[in-house]
Amino acid sequence: MIGVLLTALKIIGIVILAIIALALLIILMVLFIPIRYRGKIYFKEVPDIALSVTWFFKFLSLNITYKDGLDIIGKAGWLFKVYSNHDDDTDTNKEIEDYESKVEETVDTVNENKKDDITLENTKKVDVLEVDNKIKELDKQEKKQSKKKKSKSNKKKSSAKKESKLDKLVNKAKDIHYLLTEEENKKTLLLMLEKTKNLLVHILPKKIVGFFKFGFDDPSTTGQVLEAVAIFYPLYRDDFKIVPMFYDEIIEVDISFKGRLRVFYALYIGLILWLNKKKIKTRPQ
């Protein structure tokens, strides 16, 4: 008997350890296996957009395409469709048809009941109108007296509100000035900006390939756009081309990009930002 209990306890312990190990493995996979994304954007008179977000060799995937219409498909386990925006459209159409049929039935029943109630309502309306007229006369007299009192009180309140708004604006300006000029706040804000920049660099696409061809009626407008885009030249100079067309009116875009996001790194940066936010000192009152 004792041997059976020991073997049962061993089996239960092994099962519990296996569940804990599996949970830890899943947590580590979510934290360290990156979420990858890639996309393609083509535009020449009509947009053609395709974006896919995947995790763990496409075990989880989300595909978004837009050409003639928006298509969204989410899959889990490589094969099982979890979400599709077209499925929602069919369900909503069925619900609308059912709702319309129910409304028509209720309208018919209500119309039948109204015919019976009209005769009774007409007899009651005469008495109700007389009472309403008397009540309205009394309300008019009360409103005249209350308006005189409200006008005096509103003048006092408006002046007090103006003073309170000015005080609030002045206090906010002082708070912002203290936040930006205090030495320790400067250090924490610079650190937070640096970490936010690192997170953006981590999330932004690692590779962008394609071209942007543009031209306008006025060549000077094309030159101004080229001047603005040239600011980002260090980011796209290797794989992305800017093609200005000074004598043709055209806009054509062909962009392919891909990148990734590690959940662990995003949580790490978020924790640093949250801890440093608590270090920021406010203006002493």
What rounded mean pLDDT belongs to the chain? 82
Give the chain's domain count.
1
Tell me what pLDDT residue 163 has.
Answer: 57
State whether the Cα torsion 226-229-231-233 is positive or negative: negative
* Whether the predicted pLDDT of 196 surpasses 90: yes
pLDDT digits (tens, 9 = 90+) for 65-98: 998 889 999 999 888 899 988 875 555 566 666 6
Tell me what pLDDT residue 171 has.
Answer: 84
Does 238 map to a domain? Answer: no
Task: Give the global pTM.
Answer: 0.66
Beta strand spans in 57-206 (E): 60-66, 70-76, 80-84
User: Which domain range does residue 152 map to?
Assistant: 94-180
b/e burial code for range 9-37 (CB count within 10 A of at least 16 → b): eeeeeeeeeeeeeeeeeeeeeeeebbbbb
- Residues forming beta bridges with residue 210, ordered by sequence position: 240, 255
pLDDT digits (tens, 9 = 90+) for 96-150: 666 666 666 765 665 665 555 555 555 555 455 665 666 677 677 777 766 666 6
Does 110 map to a domain? Answer: yes
**Dmax of the chain from CA atoms?**
96
